Amino acid sequence: MISQSDIRDLYQEVILDHNKSPRNFGKPTEHTHHAEGFNPLCGDHLQMFLNIEDNIIKDVKFEGEGCAISKATASLMTSELKGKTTDEAQHLFDKFLSVVTSDIDSPIDPELGKLSVIAGVREFPVRVKCATLAMHTIKNAINNEGIVSTE
Amino acid sequence: MTDVEGDIALKFDVASVRSEFPILGTTVRGVPLCYLDNGATTQKPLCVIETIDSYYKSSNSNIHRGVHHLSQVATELYENARATVRRFINAASDKEIIFTRGTTESINLVASSFGNRFISQGDEILITEMEHHSNIVPWQLLCERTGAILKVANVHPDGTVDIEDFKRLLSTKTKIVSVVHVSNSLGTINPIKDIIDVAHQVGAKVFIDGAQAVAHIEVDVQELDCDFYVFSGHKLYAPTGIGVLYGKEEILNAMPPYQGGGDMILSVSFDKTIYNELPAKFEAGTPHIAGAIGLATAIDYLLGIGIANAAQHEHMLLDYATNAMRGIPQVQLVGTAPNKSAVLSFTLKGIHPHDVGSLLDRDGIAIRAGHLCTQPILRKFGVHAVNRASFAIYNTIEEVDRLIASVQNVIRIFA
Ligand SMILES: Cc1ncc(COP(=O)(O)O)c(C=O)c1O
């Protein structure tokens, strides 16, 4: 049997909370950038809507269906990105990707901030796609490339 | 213990079955493996593993090509395997048994070879909503090539085929009917005998996808009178990479080759190449010899246990698991046909199947989580993905108990 403490790495309170009440969820009335992301493995589907002015992400919201990991990541990532420049966003994506694809025991870059809770996904390599869907979709929205798939 | 269980216990000794499967003795994350993903692939018994091992150690050679001793040995083993498959599904002749890579390749072979020769613009191909992607996409490709039309029969909310809708869609334009024998996501056992009979009345050829059936249901292709019946070895306790296409001899004879190459010819010249006879005509290139021999061993193993005994044991597990799941308010069962194979698909309210799958994995429990390659039918049931437990001869009541306890824990975590 699993006990709560056994699942410390992945399904911790923060993730469960962001899954239940995702931040920045819903379609904004206006947006400058948009992209759609799919995870064909499970049929997950996200849409990202961004308002970018002078290379600064003024707002970012998402909609869609997904597992706790993809939803919580989208929720945390969108919160983290608001107010950042697109270059800063790219820097965060690089950091995030290198953490979620690193060895289980390697240290977690403090620059990730709240997103560091997602690092538990390292223990479930098949779930890395769930954790990176939001990021890939936002990236494509910024680069004006409409559709992304994490397969 | 009920009478039924007592009865099974006499004929069926799960502990001794389990001892035949080395992998069942392993642990996952420190706990004994609880393997409930048999719909995806079954584990392999020692006899199959040893057959393959011994083939490579003492009989390995190419077949149909050498005059030397080993080539004769390998050829004989391979052709004996074909005879075992013929007996297994009671085909009329060994020529009707074509070895392929699996169900998917068998379907593609027929869709290409039969399809390109006999299907033209305006013809119709009739399938059902519950088909696996591999029994949808090859027909869609055929329709794209030829201008034929794909028709899809409805499925009722309990997971049974809407036979009235099926009959409505059937007409003299219908050239192929292709139906799954047992649904991999809903567990429904389809009334294929009735389907075959009505389809034949309009002159359609009938193709049966038996991937999920052959390990659980006795199949007699002559009694069914289907035109094609296909399955994969790996869902039948045999290796991956080997599968079967059964086709009626006269139909296979009328079909052009699927792939060209060695073994499928009688003579090659640049003016005219003469194709080989059945079954070689459809087996271009060096086949998965060890796989075919391993498949024959797996078939003999399963027949030794008895398919009816296996099915009875698996049904007992299905009934037990279904009842337990019904007692959990957050569980929604997907696929509740009266006549079901040991497949239990479910969703947990508000919890994505991938999260369930990962948490069950922490308990050493392997289930399938996802769309199960049947996106259309899941969409119809209003879900993107499901969790699926599927049972085999070696599963136990204790394993079902572990599944239920773990599911309840997932619900607690997400509460
Ligand atoms: C009903 C059904 N049809 C077809 C297939 C495809 O089988 P394979 O992947 O062995 O070719 C499967 C297996 O996933 C199946 O369950």
Q: What element of type H or E holds B387?
A: strand B386-390
Give dist(CA A89, CA A60) in Å, integer. Answer: 12
Q: What are phi and psi of A61, to 5 degrees?
A: -135, 160
B245 has which bridge partners? B98, B230
A77 has which bridge partners? none
Mean pLDDT, chain A, whole residue set: 87
Q: Token pair of A70, please?
A: 């993809």
The CATH number covering residue A83 comes to: 3.90.1010.10
Ligand 1 atom index nearest CA of B131: 1
Q: Among 1.10.10.10, 3.40.1180.10, 3.90.1170.50, 3.40.640.10, name the CATH number for the domain at B49-304.
A: 3.40.640.10
Query: Which of B184, B217, B372 has most ligand 1 atoms within 8 Å of CB, for mutation?
Result: B184
Going by the DSSP 8-state scheme, the letter that residue B173 receives in this structure is T
Interface confidence, given as ipTM, is: 0.83
Q: Of B362, B384, B409, which has the smallest distance from its Cβ to A43's Cβ?
A: B384
For B287-343, write each residue's pLDDT tens digit.
Answer: 999 999 999 999 999 999 999 999 999 999 999 999 999 999 999 999 999 999 999
Give dist(CA A111, CA B355) in Å, integer. Answer: 27
Q: Which domain holds residue A23?
A: 4-149
Reply yes or no on whether the pLDDT at A3 is more than 50: no
Quick check: B355 contacting A, CB < 8 Å?
yes
Q: Spell out which residues line ligand 1, taking CB within 6 angstroms.
A: B 102-104, 132, 134-135, 180, 184, 209, 211-212, 232, 373
Give dist(CA B166, CA B198) in Å, integer. Answer: 10
Smallest CA-to-CA distance from B92 within B294, B278, B275 is with B278
Quick check: B361 contacting A, CB < 8 Å?
yes
The answer to whether the beta carbons of residues B395 and B315 sit under 8 Å apart is no
Reply yes or no on whether the pLDDT at B5 is more than 70: no
User: What's the B208 CA to ligand 1 centre distance in angstroms?
Assistant: 12
B273 has which bridge partners? none
Reply yes or no on whether the pLDDT at A6 is more than 50: no
Residues 6+ apart with CB under 8 A from A67: A42, A44, A127, A130, B352, B353, B354, B355
According to DSSP H, which parts of chain A are helical? 13-20, 68-81, 86-100, 128-142
Return the pLDDT at A125.
85
How does strand A147-149 pair with strand A56-65? unpaired
Q: Token pair of B69, please?
A: 């001793």
Q: Tell me how many domains chain A contains.
A: 1
For B346-398, write each residue's pLDDT tens digit.
Answer: 999 999 999 999 999 989 999 999 889 999 999 999 998 999 999 999 999 99
Q: For residue B400, give the 3-state DSSP assignment.
A: helix
How does strand B27-28 pair with strand A44-53? unpaired
Smallest CA-to-CA distance from B218 within B310, B331, B80 is with B310
Q: For residue B212, give the 3-state DSSP assignment.
A: coil
For A72-97, write each residue's pLDDT tens digit.
Answer: 999 999 999 999 999 999 999 999 99
Smallest CA-to-CA distance from B100 within B229, B271, B292, B275 is with B292
A positions 24-63 inside 8 Å of B (CB) = 41-45
Binned at pLDDT 50, 70 and 90, residue A151 comes out as low
Ligand 1 atom index nearest CA of B240: 10
Domains of chain B, residue spans: 3-41+306-414, 49-304
* B355 CB neighbour count, 10 Å cutoff: 28
Ligand 1, atom 9: closest residue by C-alpha: B104
Quick check: B405 contacting A, CB < 8 Å?
yes
Give dist(CA B262, CA B276) in Å, integer. Answer: 10
* B95 CB neighbour count, 10 Å cutoff: 18
Q: For residue B14, give the 3-state DSSP assignment.
A: helix
User: What's the B103 CA to ligand 1 centre distance in angstroms?
Assistant: 6
Per the listing, tokens 């799954």 go with B180
Smallest CA-to-CA distance from B301 within B239, B229, B343, B228 is with B239
Give dist(CA B304, CA B312) in Å, integer. Answer: 15
Query: Which of B38, B41, B42, B103 has most ligand 1 atoms within 8 Å of CB, for mutation?
Result: B103
The answer to whether the beta carbons of residues B64 and B75 sit under 8 Å apart is yes
A57 has which bridge partners? A52
Per the listing, tokens 């002559």 go with B222
Give dist(CA B408, CA B413) in Å, integer. Answer: 9
Smallest CA-to-CA distance from B205 within B229, B190, B221, B227 is with B227
Which CATH fold topology does B3-41+306-414 show?
A: Aspartate Aminotransferase, domain 1 (3.90.1150)
The residue type of B71 is S
